C-alpha cells in the first residue's frame, strides 16, 4: 500500500524559495547532496549501515533542495512505524553518537561563516535547518514548509 506524500507533483514552490534553491545548488549544495547519496550507498553496501541509509538519503534530498521545505515528525504525518517508535529512538541515539554531533557541528560552523554577510544569511539559515536534521534524522520526513501548521487530511 502506498501512502500519499505531503509534497505532491502539483505543489508549486514560491519563487523566492526556487531562486534560493538554484543559488544553493550552484554554491555547493549539489556537491554536498552528492556526498550524502554516496554515504547512503556505502551504508547499504556495509550491511550493518542499512538502517541508517534511509536517513542519509533523506539528508541528501534535504541538502539538495533545502528552501521551501522543513523536517517534520513522520509519526504525526503517517502514524507510528519502525522509525518513529523505540527502535527509531535507539537508531537516533546511535546516529547522534557516531555521526550526528559532528555533522551538526560542521553545519553550525558553515552557518556562522555565512551569517557574516547579508547575502549569506539565507544560506546560514539553511545550514541551521540541516544541522538540526543531521543531529536527529530518523523518524522525520522532509515536507513543505506549511505542513504541520495546518490540518492534514489523508
Q: What percent of the chain has pLDDT over 70?
A: 87
Structural domain count, the chain: 1
Predicted confidence at residue 109, as pLDDT, reads 92
What is the Cα 35 distance to its own chain's centre?
A: 13
Domain interval for residue 130: 15-75+82-144
Reported as a pLDDT band with limits 50, 70 and 90, residue 99 is confident
Decide if 135 contacts 103 (C-beta within 8 A): yes
In a domain, 2, yes or no: no
Partners of 100 in beta bridges: none
pLDDT at residue 113, rounded to an integer: 92
Q: So what's the pLDDT on residue 154?
A: 45
Q: Helix 121-135 to helix 101-114 angle, to the nearest 10 degrees?
A: 170
State the pLDDT confidence band at 112, using cuts at 50, 70 and 90.
Answer: very high
The answer to whether residues 88 and 138 touch, using CB atoms and an 8 Å cutoff, is yes
In a domain, 154, yes or no: no
Q: What is the pLDDT of residue 22?
A: 92
Q: Do residues 82 and 88 make contact, with C-beta atoms less than 8 angstroms apart?
A: yes
C-alpha to C-alpha distances, 33 to 47, 48, 56, 65, nearest whole angstrom: 22, 22, 10, 9
* HSE, side-chain direction, 13 A CA sphere, residue 36: 25
> Is 132 part of a structural domain of the chain?
yes
Residue 2, pLDDT above cutoff 80: no
Q: What is the per-residue pLDDT across 81-93, written as a single tens digit (0 to 9) for each?
A: 777 888 888 988 9
Distances from the Cα of 67 to the Cα of 43, 44, 106, 131, angstroms: 27, 28, 19, 14
Give the confidence band of 56 by pLDDT, cuts at 50, 70, 90.
Answer: confident
| DSSP-derived secondary structure letter, 154 | -
Note the pLDDT tens digit of each residue in 24-41: 888 888 888 888 898 889
122/81: higher pLDDT: 122
Amino acid at each position: 500500500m502506498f501512502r500519499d506524500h505531503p509534497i505532491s507533483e502539483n505543489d508549486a514552490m514560491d519563487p523566492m524559495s526556487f531562486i534560493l534553491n538554484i543559488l544553493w545548488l550552484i554554491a555547493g549544495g549539489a556537491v554536498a547532496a552528492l556526498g550524502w547519496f554516496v554515504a547512503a550507498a556505502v551504508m547499504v553496501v556495509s550491511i550493518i549501515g542499512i538502517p541508517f541509509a534511509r536517513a542519509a538519503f533523506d539528508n541528501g534530498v534535504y541538502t539538495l533542495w533545502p528552501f521551501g521545505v522543513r523536517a517534520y515528525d513522520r509519526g504525526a504525518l503517517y502514524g507510528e512505524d519502525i522509525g518513529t517508535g523505540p527502535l527509531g529512538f535507539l537508531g537516533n541515539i546511535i546516529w547522534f553518537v557516531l555521526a550526528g554531533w559532528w555533522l551538526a557541528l560542521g553545519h553550525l560552523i558553515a552557518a556562522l561563516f555565512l551569517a557574516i554577510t547579508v547575502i549569506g544569511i539565507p544560506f546560514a539559515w539553511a545550514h541551521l535547518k540541516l544541522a538540526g536534521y543531521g543531529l536527529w534524522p530518523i523518524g522525520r520526513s522532509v515536507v513543505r514548509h506549511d505542513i504541520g501548521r495546518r490540518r492534514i487530511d489523508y
